[in-house]
Structure 1
């Protein structure tokens, strides 16, 4: 993906969402023909010249200093994820951390995942690839072992699998969060060809994805409440928390749980009764492939 274009579009969309009154800027320029702040107003707030900010927004400013980027982030009222995204997009190519070999879930992470036998949990990696899961996650979200490995991807499931619109009652929120997560990944790894291919495929196949991708929203996986609509057990609301792997910042364990004594806790117990381990995956050489 074109880094300069990503930076340009991100800055334009962040500037467009700000109203002059939100940041104490008077409407001294007469009637506005476009939403949001003008470039000269943003430059004034950031303490940089209009010419420099214009070049930055057009992706033509080289090696912007962290202090300047922080000043622009402050003027744009960026949150922590957006600020990190701005710094990632503005990094010189030579300083970028590029994806290395394919991600592997270590035995300790597998053990931790399987130890969570009474709650759904799965491990997600770069590009929102689903790398490993426990039986309850398979029963609640998707039959991961039955999917070709290339389709074990949260963005693909949300936008290309019709079942997702039934699984998530608030599908729009899930879709928005998914795209925001993927945007953050794209900022960290703008030279990832597999990610660019995924974005291209989703853009061609889904108008919803195109719409949300154009918003340039970014958001990391943290914690919250997620609503599900299981085909057999009905609706349940689960708390979730994202726990990043200590040796790989691009690998996260997603853990869902129910509050003690809640209706969701009872539903999870019923879900566990539906969860039966599938036959193990077997590679071409006959060796067991762990989930």
Structure 2
């Protein structure tokens, strides 16, 4: 005979989660009296007041009663309980069975640990880009093979600006038309997925003014998944070179994406290492 593990119903899971998050809060942090409290944390009425919802309705949620809460109510409760992004997502999954709509936040760069991940890829150009395709971190191989992002002002470290505005980047593409079409479609999908539609408007308007080709491709409204594939470049020193590229989400940072270009051959990898070493010598 096997023991059957009972799993809580969704409403019970939501109720338990709310109680636990409420209990961890310190009333003193909110300027509330701490005496004569039978249980730790805030009272239900205090959470309801902070969330600007009915105390009765909040009590029902903690008791597993009533219907499903709305996204607006869950958002208010998340703010009232000072939930982190991952805790807020979990709250929505319990309450509505789906994650919340994406809230885009402009990236403030990467952590030293994430930069060390890039630096460990000695022969593989790798970069971190935002949802609006601004490059915020890269390794030495990327600077040597793709673009020397460090030599550009921050506002110019944007992949679309480079594809449509830098003649050297354009010349390096084997099939610029196909690359440009793919980049615009994948960019549109990434920006929408991250909820960054408003944030990219200025960039889109600027590129549409300066590049008729971008304006035409943007009007086509195509979307594509970046995923993985093969990229070929004409490098001024290395000559023709091919990469297998892969794109990864950065866990806990929905605003960032990692792209790694692995050399297709061992010879190409060795040549990239030599190029990076030569650049290091000339810079010293």
Conserved? CA contact 1:164–1:171, under 8 Å: no
Superposition pairs for residues 214-253 of structure 1, below 5 Å? 214-253=219-258
TM-score where L is the length of structure 2 = 0.60
- Residue 238 to residue 197, structure 1, CA distance change in 2 (3 Å): same
The Cα offsets for residues 231-279 of structure 1, whole Å up to 9 and x where unpaired, read as: 1221111111111101123311111112344x43343344333432897
Cα drift, residue 190 of structure 1: 5.6
Alpha-carbon distance between aligned partners in 1 of 2:149 and 2:171, rounded to the nearest angstrom? 17
2:125–2:139 CA contact under 8 A, matched in 1: yes
| Residues 116-195 of structure 1: pairs in structure 2 closer than 5 A | 116-188=121-193, 192-195=197-200
Are the structure 2 counterparts of residues 101 and 226 from structure 1 closer, same or farther at C-alpha, using a change threshold of 3 Å? closer
Matching of residue 211 in structure 1 with residue 211 in structure 2? no
Kept in 1, the 8 Å contact 2:185–2:223? The answer is yes
Higher radius of gyration, 1 or 2: 2
Query: How far off is 1:205 after superposition?
Result: 0.6
4+ runs deviating over 6 angstroms: none
Deviations 1:54-86 (A, max 9, x none): xxxxxxxxxxxxxxxxxxxxxxxxxxxxxxxxx
Q: Distance in 2 between matches of 1:252 and 1:132?
A: 10
Return the offset for 1:114: 0.8
How much does 1:153 deviate? 0.5
**Residue in structure 1 matched with residue 277 of structure 2 by the alignment:** 273
Q: Which moved more, 1:249-258 or 1:227-236?
A: 249-258
The TM-score with structure 1 as length reference comes to 0.58
Q: 1:118 to 1:203 in 2, by over 3 A?
A: same
Alpha carbon RMSD of aligned pairs, Å? 2.3
CA pair 116-101 structure 1, distance change in 2 beyond 3 A: same
The answer as to whether partners of 1:120 and 1:257 remain within 8 angstroms in 2 is yes
C-alpha separation in 1, matches of 2:122 and 2:270: 15
Shift of 1:107: 2.3
Distance 2:277 2:178 in 1: 29
How many residues are treated as equivalent by the alignment? 185
Q: Distance in 2 between matches of 1:96 and 1:278?
A: 48
SS at 2:200's partner residue? helix
